Amino acid sequence: MTSPNETNEPSRRAVLKAGVAGLGATMVPFGAFEALGAEPAQAAGPVTAPPAAASRGGIGAALKRVEGPLKVRGAATYAFEWPVEKPAYLYPLLSTIASGRVTSVDTRAALAEPGVLGVLTHLNAPRLAWADEPEVALLQSDRVAYHGQIVGAVIADGIETARYAAGLVKLEYAAEPVDVDLRTDRDDLRKPQHAQGFGQLPGDLMNGAPADTSAGDFAAGLASAVHRVDATYTTPVQHHNPMEPHAAVATWTDDEITLYCGSQGVSTPQELLTRAFGLEAGRLRLISPYVGGAFGSKDFSALWGTLALMGARLVPGRPVKLSFTRQQMFTLVGHRPAAIQRVRLGADARGRLVAISHDAVQETAKAKQYAEQTVQASRSMYAAPNRRTSTRIALLDVPIPTIMRGPGEATGMFALESAMDELAEKMGLDPIELRLLNEPQTHPETGQPFSSRHLKQCFEEGARRFGWKNRARKPRTRRKDGWLIGTGVAAATYPSPRLPGSTAFARVDRDGRYTVRIAAADIGTGTWTTLAQIAAEALGVPQNRVTLQIGDSSYPRASSGGFSSGMNSWGTTVYEAARALHAAVDEHGGKVPPEGIEVTVGMPDDPRLRQYEFGSYGAQFAEVRVHEDTGEIRVPRLLGVFDVGRVINPVTARSQLLGGMTWGLSMTLHEETALDHRYGHFVNNDFGGYHIAANADVGSIEVHFLDVRDPHINPMGSKGAGEIGIIGTAAAIANGAYNATGVRVRDLPLTLDKFL
């Protein structure tokens, strides 16, 4: 039998390239993995999901998460929890200035502390073989580019010793002026370029899209409009804050190097770290069976991996454990960048748009140019002959932003869908009617057909279920017990990309048991369950005959989980592997020889990917209450109807969308990281200060799917369901708050002071 490594070898070069391409798109919520059952082996054995119950399974089956019981029992091994012998602990040391240099380092007191094994700083950290990626290139110079940057680490026998000794390391700095002000009138705003992935690919934005687009003559179009909206919307820095902190356990031996590391993917970070440390291909193995939430922050996941590996190299053979504190997570693992967006809409007398523009100015770090697709949804949502979008970034002394929960669309659609509500209000039109009037027949910029777009049905079904027709059209007309009551609606859209670079292995044994292996990830989204369903369907066998193995970089390479691309990318690959396996069995005359049959195949190309626009859609409805005296805001009810293509598993899909809508609620009402403009640090960097919706903030949330198959996207007919749930929620709530109070808040979050 071929080992996974050998199987992998021929494609490794090609894969590395594809991996870089894949990076631009990886993100999103992540999930759980299925490990070895209760007693994981020391050097992890295969990471395998328990078989589904005796059910036939397959696509559409309402299966519960296969790893659920392990998680509930506390038996699922998250990164920090891998049992290892006699670990050492690493505690990072963060900069206390936002810009400048480290001028002196005194580690004597720390080294003198009993139990301290070593102190890493830029003076003694290993020089990396490849340090072009700022998030990987830790401790490579004395330069400080943001407050809370890693400037050292202590490795010790005990976790408390490491933490205490970190406080004994004395660093002196030469501080430089701090510049963290995001304003649209800065004269150094620039158009992002090659902001994708690691700056090696064409395309301006993180996802490879251009920064700016235009069609027709926007100015003339706007001038000809009968009704106009011109409004500016602002959104703050927000943080992912997954429950599980960013953690790693690294062991460096003469042959293998193992890294247990909660991550949205295993292949890409394995490749990055291999390159950074100049290792032979395959020597580093990254294992990530379960992830306790990621939301984008564990995608470009090389930073804490680098640190753990540096620590492990210092104490060869001994496992090194690292887990960031909540406070450290505010600067080390990314954030949603603050943005200022101007949206202009022009409509004719009937409400048909004649001009749309969406201009975004967003923050990024001097340390790394990250630019997200804030204006992207405005390129495809509505028909209008004259249109433009633009993206500008300000390079500031802030920590490095990254993809977070629907990056771009989550904030961009807050702006666009608020503006649409403002236009409907101005015209006295029902906001749903206005949207349906402007449904495009083909993509408004590219002219390509949509593979499937059922936004109208989402609105119609949502309106019926929500009771939209009973709403008070005039703001500030409904009140009860001191609360003003309103309702709001917004559209949702999110692309359904397929990322390149996945490969899958499939095997059949003589006894008719199947194994499918792919280095995919489950970040809590349900991959363990749903990818097994796809495999069973593709193989045409009951699911309990299929064993799925994911979450280990020694498996055939896969793109990371993010960008709502996982099922599309991995599912398509698994389908292809199943097809190849069937063909191989046919070649054996339909008989499986004693040694079994196995195949390893890459994801197929499909010309249709270039002929259609692929995306998911949704309609979000909100009931909002605002207290007349205090401005307190509550959302007793959210309802979403989504077109995510064919639903692979209604249980996990509902859970994902419910979570997305809850995040949407949270980003609308609460989430805001405050930046101190003098010191350049994030001020409210813990759960006491950074508010996420509490149980009491979450009322009824209803999730419905259309469950209509997309004819072209992939063999499953499924579209992305990862992030669509968070898109549009903010606008639906803000529009509902306007309907309740007559106060239009264009600045997230919708805190009570804005309604006083």
Partner 1 sequence: MKPFAYQRAKDVESAVTTVAARPEASFLGGGTNLVDLMKMEVLKPELLVDVRHLVSRTIEPAHGGGLLIGAGMSNNELAADRRIRRRYPMLSQALLSGASYQLRNLATVGGNFLQRTRCPYFRDVTMPCNKREPGTGCAARDGVQRDLAVLGADASCVATHPSDMAVAMAALDAVLHTVGPSGERTIPVNELYRSPAEGPQRDTVLERGELITAVELPAAPVAAHSRYRKVRDRASYAFALVSVAAALEVRHGSVTQVRLALGGVAHKPWRATTAERALVGRPATEAGFRAAAEAELAAARPLAGNAFKVPLARNTIVSMLRDLTEGA
Q: Does 96 bind partner 1 (CB under 8 A)?
A: yes
Kindly state whether residue 629 participates in binding partner 1, applying the rule CB under 8 A.
yes
192 phi-psi bin (left φ>0, alpha ψ -120 to 50, beta other): beta
Q: Which stretch binds partner 1 (CB under 8 A): 47-55, 177-185, 285-293, 679-687?
A: 679-687
Which of these, 58, 57, 132, 142, lies nearest to 95 by C-alpha position? 142
Q: How far is the CB of 430 from partner 1 (least distance, A)?
A: 31
Q: How far is the CB of 482 from partner 1 (least distance, A)?
A: 7
Figure out which of the listed residues 12, 191, 228, 634 binds partner 1, where binding follows CB under 8 A.
634
Using CB under 8 A as the binding rule, whether residue 683 contacts partner 1 is answered as yes
Please give the Cα distance from 458 to 453 (Å, whole number). Answer: 10
Rounded (10°) angle between helices 650-669 and 409-427: 70
Residue selected from 41, 676, 700, 711 as contacting partner 1 according to rule CB under 8 A = 676
| 669 lines the binding site for partner 1 (CB under 8 A) | yes
Task: Name which of 278 and 636 has its Cβ closer to partner 1.
Answer: 636
* Least distance between partner 1 and beta carbon 640 (Å): 21
- Output Rg (C-alpha) for the chain, integer angstroms: 26
Nearer to partner 1, 460 or 632 (CB): 632
Task: Indicate the residue among 328 and 560 with the shorter CB distance to partner 1.
Answer: 328
Size of residue set near partner 1 by CB under 8 A: 33
Which listed range, 117-125, 362-370, 601-609, 682-690, lies at the site for partner 1 (CB under 8 A)? 682-690
Q: Does 234 bind partner 1 (CB under 8 A)?
A: no
Distance CA 142, CA 450 (A): 51
Closest distance between partner 1 and the C-beta of residue 639, in Å? Answer: 20
| 574-596 burial code (b ≥16 CB/10 A, e <16) | bbbbbbbbbeebeeeeeebeeee
Is residue 756 involved in binding partner 1 (CB under 8 A)?
yes
In this structure, what DSSP letter does residue 556 have?
A: S
Point out which span in 5-13, 434-442, 491-499, 629-637 binds partner 1 (CB under 8 A): 629-637
Asked if 321 and 291 count as a contact pair (C-beta separation under 8 A), the reply is no
Give the nearer residue to partner 1 in terms of CB position, either 282 or 689. 689
| Among 271, 363, 598, 723, the one annotated catalytic | 723
- Tell the smallest beta-carbon distance from residue 638 to partner 1 (Å): 15
Q: What is the largest CA-CA distance in the chain?
A: 79
694 part of the interface to partner 1, by CB under 8 A: yes
**For residues 64 and 634, which CB has a smaller minimum distance to partner 1 in the complex?**
634
**Shortest distance in whole angstroms from residue 698 CB to partner 1:** 9
Q: Nearest distance from residue 749's CB to partner 1, in Å?
A: 9
Residue 114 corresponds to which tokens in the numbers above? 């009993």
Strands 546-549 and 514-517: parallel
Rank residues 96 and 232 by Cβ distance to partner 1 and give the closer one. 96
The reply on whether position 326 binds partner 1 by CB under 8 A is no
Q: Are 734 and 418 in contact (CB under 8 A)?
A: yes
Closer residue to partner 1, CB minimum distance, 124 or 325: 325
Q: Is 684 in the site for partner 1 (CB under 8 A)?
A: yes
The position carrying tokens 């609308």 is 668
Does residue 163 belong to the site contacting partner 1 (CB under 8 A)? yes
CB of 697 to partner 1, least distance (A): 5
Residue 231 amino acid letter? A
C-alpha dist (Å) from residue 262 to 33, 133, 136, 290, 660: 10, 20, 16, 7, 21
Q: Phi first, then psi: what are they for 488, rounded to 5°? A: -145, 160
Please report how close the Cβ of residue 694 comes to partner 1 at its closest, in angstroms: 5
| Residue (24 or 631) nearer to partner 1, CB | 631
Which listed residue (199, 385, 542, 689) binds partner 1 by CB under 8 A? 689
- Mapped onto helix, strand or coil, the DSSP state of residue 657 is helix
Q: Is residue 695 part of the contact set for partner 1 (CB under 8 A)?
A: yes
Distance CA 271, CA 8 (A): 13
Binding of partner 1 by 751 (CB under 8 A): yes
Residue among 141, 224, 611, 630 that touches partner 1 (CB under 8 A): 630
CA separation (Å) from 251 to 20, 271, 302, 511?
26, 17, 16, 38
SS3 content of the chain, % helix, strand, coil (to 5): 30, 25, 50
* Residue 697 binding partner 1, by CB under 8 A: yes
Decide: is 681 part of the binding site for partner 1 (CB under 8 A). Answer: yes
Name the one range near partner 1 by CB under 8 A: 136-144, 227-235, 627-635, 649-657. Answer: 627-635
Give the N- to C-terminal CA distance of the chain in Å, as an integer: 71
Which span (158-166, 266-274, 358-366, 736-744) binds partner 1, by CB under 8 A? 158-166
Name the minimum Å distance from CB 658 to partner 1.
19
Cβ neighbours of residue 76 under 8 Å, at least 6 residues apart?
32, 33, 35, 67, 70, 289, 290
Is 487 exposed, middle or buried (CB count within 10 Å of its CB: 0-12, 13-18, 19+)? buried
Q: Of 9, 160, 348, 605, which lies in the binding site for partner 1, with binding defined by CB under 8 A?
A: 160
Please report whether residue 180 would count as binding partner 1 according to CB under 8 A: no
Cα separation, 578 vs 600, whole angstroms:
10
Does the annotation count 595 as an active-site position?
Answer: no
Nearer to partner 1, 42 or 630 (CB): 630
Give the DSSP letter string of 100-153. EEEEEEE-HHHHHSTTEEEEEETTTSPPPS---STTT-TTSSSEE-STT-EEEE
Q: Find the part of the chain contacting partner 1 (CB under 8 A) among 25-33, 34-42, 543-551, 690-698.
A: 690-698
- The yes or no reply on residue 679 touching partner 1 (CB under 8 A) is yes
Side-chain half-sphere exposure of 479, counting CA atoms within 13 A: 13
Exactly one of 40, 551, 618, 631 binds partner 1 (CB under 8 A); which one? 631
What is residue 548's three-state secondary structure?
strand
Rounded to the nearest whole angstrom, what is the least distance from the CB of residue 520 to partner 1 in the complex?
Answer: 36
Q: Which of the stretches 2-10, 161-169, 355-363, 543-551 binds partner 1 when contact is defined by CB under 8 A?
A: 161-169
* Distance in Å, CB of 756 to partner 1, minimum: 5
**In the complex, least distance from residue 109 CB atom to partner 1, rounded to whole angstroms:** 13
Please report whether residue 691 would count as binding partner 1 according to CB under 8 A.
yes
Helix, strand or coil for residue 261? strand
What residues numbered 476-495 form the site for partner 1, per CB under 8 A?
482
Distance of CA 328 to the CA centre of its chain: 19
Q: Which helix (H) or strand (E) holds 483?
A: strand 483-495
Using CB under 8 A as the binding rule, whether residue 41 contacts partner 1 is answered as no
Give the binding range for partner 1 (CB under 8 A) out of 134-142, 175-183, 401-409, 666-674: 666-674
Distance between CA atoms of 645 and 453, rounded to whole angstroms? 9
Residue whose token pair is 């796809």: 534
Query: What is the dihedral sign for C-alpha 71, 74, 80, 83?
Result: negative
Q: Are strands 257-261 and 247-252 parallel, antiparallel or unpaired?
A: antiparallel
Q: Is position 200 an interface residue for partner 1 (rule: CB under 8 A)?
A: no
- Cβ proximity to partner 1, 415 vs 669, nearer residue: 669
Question: Which residues belong to the active site?
Answer: 723
Using CB under 8 A as the criterion, which residues of the chain lie in contact with partner 1 when the complex forms?
96, 160, 163-164, 167, 482, 629-632, 634, 669-670, 674, 676, 678-679, 681, 683-685, 688-689, 691, 693-697, 751-753, 756
